Amino acid sequence: MKSQQSFLRIEMQSETALRNIYSPSHRVEIRQPDDRHATVECEMTNALDGRDFLLYYSLDPNEIATTLLTHRPETGKPGYFILLISPQVELNENQVQAKDLVLVLDTSGSMAGEKIEQAKAALRYCLQRLGERDRFGLVTFSSEARVFRSTLAGITEREDALWQVDKLEATGGTNINEALLAAHKLLRDSPAGRGMIIFLTDGLPSVGVQDEGQIRRNLQQANSNEVRLFSFGVGFDVNTKLLDGLGRDHHAFADYISPQENIEERVSTFYDKVRYPVMRNMEYEFRGTDVRLLSPRQLPDLFKGGQIILAGRYQQAGHASLILRGQAGEQRQTFQYEFDFPRREREREFVARLWATRRVGDLLEDIRLNGENAELKNEVISLAKEFRLVTPYTSYLVREEETLAGDAAALPGVFQQMERRWAAEPSREMLMKASSGAGAVAMSQSIREMKEAEVVAAPKQASVVVVKGRVMALNPDGVWIDTEFKPVLETVKIVFASNAYFTFLRLFPEAGDFCRLGQKVIFNWQGKFVEIGEKGEKQMDATKLRELMN
């Protein structure tokens, strides 16, 4: 059966600024021409994939807006939260910070042909879109590094730089250490956090310092002013541990461009996101509650049109203050926000799963870059089992359950992709140790997807799903049945959408996870089986229902 495509478009308008527009259920494209108008678009399959479409937004005129979403099903355990942070859409010239950008391009022999032409186009795209107050540098390298100017240049020298880019040819080896040290030297007088390096390479270090640990140490020593280093690995013959490690050391990230992808398109899309810095060197402090296990561990810089998602856990319920500090232009600014962290909050289960996904991504990156230890591995396995996440250590558990159930377990899309990536290799744990090759690139991308997860995709409509740890199977009659159910067992029967049905949900709201499966469901609730369907109780008050469930 072919999937049916559907398209959702939402037009939003408000007198007060629309902020922190966010969907945890679907990937959406958000366009905001100004603070009071927004368009949200989403392409879906099979009529929303059987999922509710969730969209959150706030009305907030502040310069930096924040939104807190929480989930705490059990009062005796720490709760979960995500914090959304976004800037104004309409910014004046003083609110957009100048940046110091150094472009570093690998021109070794392996870049010859279409790759070098696409890379040159990417450099031209960035140079042509510099701001009036921006400064730039250009470093090209093969066996040795070459700089366009010995100091940062202003946009009056842009045409000369474009001419230099046009003349570039691919030849020689790959001296990554020398090239990136040259880039840092250009940025040595740049204010803290203002410097940015965009680095493109398609190869392994082959000239000069080649040890990845030594290269990282050299650049950490050179990075005294908090330069951001964004690396793009082109193809599969790159050292992913080196590039990922450099991204972590420089509070940025590494991304990878497959041989089938266009270099210019990928780099230009990224550059558009970081073109207008709003606040850098951001720090936060919660007062009134104890937050822990935060992801990301350090806030990234905030850009025009961007949104930061901070996920974590909290212990203490009640009123709390958030102090947010950051560098805006030449000034250090401080903002304060007031929140209430609930003692109990059963709604928004996606908050917990989003936190768990990001936490596992952070742990996997720790293991991959620094080596495995039992404590980190055990935490990954524990979280993966609790939230049914596919990881290099637990995907085999999912596969065993699939075999027992006789069908594929329903997994969110990103994790299905990771399962396919990892299952194609002889050993997932070996890929955690691999530095280069298609498998290493896939592993790096999968871990980054988890670390930066924004959408918690609900399970697709499959014949077997897991709800609250119970395996539910869809039979030929369209009934979802707990696999441990036997017809001889006593069952509380309730008619779907009847008075009794809604009374049951009011008494036991968490049972809604089972009821959302469909109009015919047989599930275990608090030790007793409940059958939702066409036959059974229609009218029932809370007292009678409690008696039946006891």
Most confident range (mean pLDDT) of 86-95, 210-219, 480-489 is: 210-219
Q: Name the CATH superfamily for 100-275.
A: von Willebrand factor, type A domain (3.40.50.410)
Q: Higher pLDDT residue, 52 or 116?
A: 116
The dihedral through the CA atoms of 43, 46, 49, 55 has a sign that is: positive
The pLDDT of 134-156, averaged and rounded, is 94
Question: What mean pLDDT do residues 536-547 have?
Answer: 90
More confidently predicted of 409 and 157? 157
Whether 475 has a pLDDT exceeding 90, the answer reads no
434 falls in which pLDDT band (50, 70, 90)?
confident
What is the number of other CB atoms lying within 10 angstroms of the CB of residue 482? 20
Please report which confidence band the pLDDT of residue 344 belongs to, taking 50, 70 and 90 as the band edges. Answer: very high
Supply 516's token pair: 């959302």
Q: How many residues does the chain have?
A: 550
pLDDT of residue 17: 92
Residues 6+ apart with CB under 8 A from 199: 104, 179, 180, 183, 229, 230, 231, 232, 246
CA 300 to chain centre: 13
Distance CA 140, CA 193 (A): 23
CA-CA distance, 498 to 491, in Å (whole number)? 17
What confidence category does residue 465 fall into, taking pLDDT thresholds of 50, 70 and 90? Answer: low
Confidence check: pLDDT of 438 > 50: yes
- Angle at the Cα of 456 (from 453 to 458), degrees rounded to 5? 155
Query: Angle CA(38)–CA(44)–CA(46) in degrees, nearest 5?
Result: 150
303 pLDDT band, cuts 50/70/90, is very high
Q: Where are the domains of the chain?
A: 1-56, 100-275, 463-549
Rounded CA-CA distance 291/366 in Å is 21
Buried b (16+ CB within 10 A) or exposed e, 418-434: bbebbeebeebeebbeb
Per-residue pLDDT, averaged over 492-521, amounts to: 91
pLDDT band at 318 (very low <50, low <70, confident <90, very high): very high
Question: What pLDDT is attached to residue 90?
Answer: 84
Q: Which residues pair with 233 in a beta bridge?
A: 201, 256
Q: Is residue 26 exposed (0-12), middle (13-18) or buried (19+ Cβ within 10 Å)?
A: buried
Distance CA 432, CA 444 (A): 9
User: Does the pLDDT at position 536 exceed 60?
Assistant: yes
Pairing mode, strands 521-525 and 528-533: antiparallel
pLDDT classification of 359: cutoffs 50, 70, 90: very high
Per-residue model confidence (pLDDT) at position 293: 94
pLDDT band at 403 (very low <50, low <70, confident <90, very high): very low
Query: Global pTM?
Result: 0.76
Residue 384 confidence (pLDDT): 86
Summarize pLDDT for 254-289 with one digit per residue, the tens. Answer: 999 988 789 999 999 999 999 999 999 999 999 999
Strands 135-141 and 145-147: what pairing? antiparallel
Helix, strand, coil % in the chain, rounded to nearest 5: 35, 30, 35
pLDDT at 329: 72
* Higher local confidence (pLDDT), 121 or 397: 121
Tens digit of pLDDT for each residue in 225-256? Answer: 999 999 999 988 899 999 999 999 999 999 99
- Given a contact cutoff of 8 angstroms between Cβ atoms, the answer to whether 327 and 279 are in contact is yes
Q: Which strands, in side-by-side order, build the sheet including 145-147?
A: 145-147, 135-141, 100-106, 195-201, 228-234, 254-257
Cα–Cα distance between 109 and 121 in angstroms, integer? Answer: 18
- Region for 74 from its dihedrals, namely left if φ exceeds 0, alpha if ψ lies in -120 to 50, beta otherwise: beta
Average predicted confidence (pLDDT) for the chain:
85
Q: For residue 546, how far is the Cα from the chain centroid?
A: 42
Averaged pLDDT for residues 120-147: 94
Determine contact, residues 197/180, Cβ cutoff 8 Å.
yes
How far, in Å, CA of 452 to CA of 393, rounded?
A: 20
Q: Amino acid letter at 356?
A: A
pLDDT confidence tier of residue 319, bands split at 50, 70 and 90: very high
What pLDDT does 7 receive?
82
E strands, 177-307, in order: 195-201, 228-234, 254-257, 277-287, 291-295, 302-303
Give Cβ neighbours of residue 237 (< 8 Å, ≥ 6 apart). 110, 202, 203, 204, 436, 437
Cα separation, 440 vs 368, in Å, equals 10
Banded model confidence at residue 309, pLDDT cuts 50, 70, 90? very high
Under DSSP, the state recorded for 537 is: B
Binned at pLDDT 50, 70 and 90, residue 476 comes out as low
Region 482-489: mean pLDDT is: 74
According to the model, what pLDDT value does residue 269 have? Answer: 94
Report the DSSP pairing between strands 302-303 and 277-287. antiparallel
What's the burial of 182, exposed, middle or buried (CB within 10 Å: 0-12/13-18/19+)? buried
- Mean pLDDT along residues 42-52: 63
Angle (CA) 216 221 222, round 5° = 100
d(CA 520, CA 530): 11
Is the pLDDT at 130 greater than 70? The verdict is yes
